[in-house]
Amino acid sequence: MLGKKNADTKMSTLIGAGAELTGDFTLDGSARIDGKIGGNVTVTGNLILGAGSIVTGDVQAASVLIGGEVTGNITAPEKAELTASAKVLGDIATKVIVIDEHAVFQGKIDMNQTVPDRKGKARTAKAVRAGRKSAKAAIAEALKEVEEEEKRENQKTSQTAETVEKTETPAAETTAANTSEA
């Protein structure tokens, strides 16, 4: 699911379309929910919320594929995907987001703040990019390089113009001198 093929993609739990749970649902593994849950959903693996699912509470999973309704915040450190039938009323914190056309989403998306990883450890975007430049720094550096290149080009052009000017002047004087000698 969601681009990963490993043991974690096996669905260890299925909550069917007719099932209704009240209270928090916690699972060490992956799950598919097609029923209704009135409470928070916490899954250490991947989570699929089918087209008929309704969750009223916060959702936390490594990655989540949403086809149903969620009224609450979603935390998915790896990826969150909303299909065309999805309806999400709440904020989403994730690294990667995919929202299909016709999906309903009302909330904020946080892709740069602290997002807990699978083991619950908080990581910041800065820690994830350690050793890499921020987009702002990369753009600033690129602009500086362009300015320096333009400066070098302008210097070359002015040096070439001076060289041409110096070579043309003696030739003109030589021609004038040759004309006066004749």
pLDDT digits (tens, 9 = 90+) for 19-55: 999 999 999 999 999 999 999 999 999 999 999 999 9
Half-sphere exposure (Cβ direction) of 177: Cα atoms closer than 13 Å = 6
Beta bridge mates, 88: 70, 105
Indicate the pTM of the whole model: 0.59
What does the block give as tokens for 89? 């009323």
C-alpha 26/C-alpha 105 separation (Å) is: 25
Block residue for tokens 């250490």: 44
Q: What are phi and psi of 84, to 5 degrees?
A: -60, -25
Block residue for tokens 């004749």: 182
C-alpha 157/C-alpha 148 separation (Å) is: 14
What confidence score (pLDDT) does residue 12 get? Answer: 79
What does the block give as tokens for 97? 């987001």
C-alpha 94/C-alpha 128 separation (Å) is: 13
Domain boundaries, the chain: 7-128, 133-182
What confidence score (pLDDT) does residue 167 get? Answer: 62
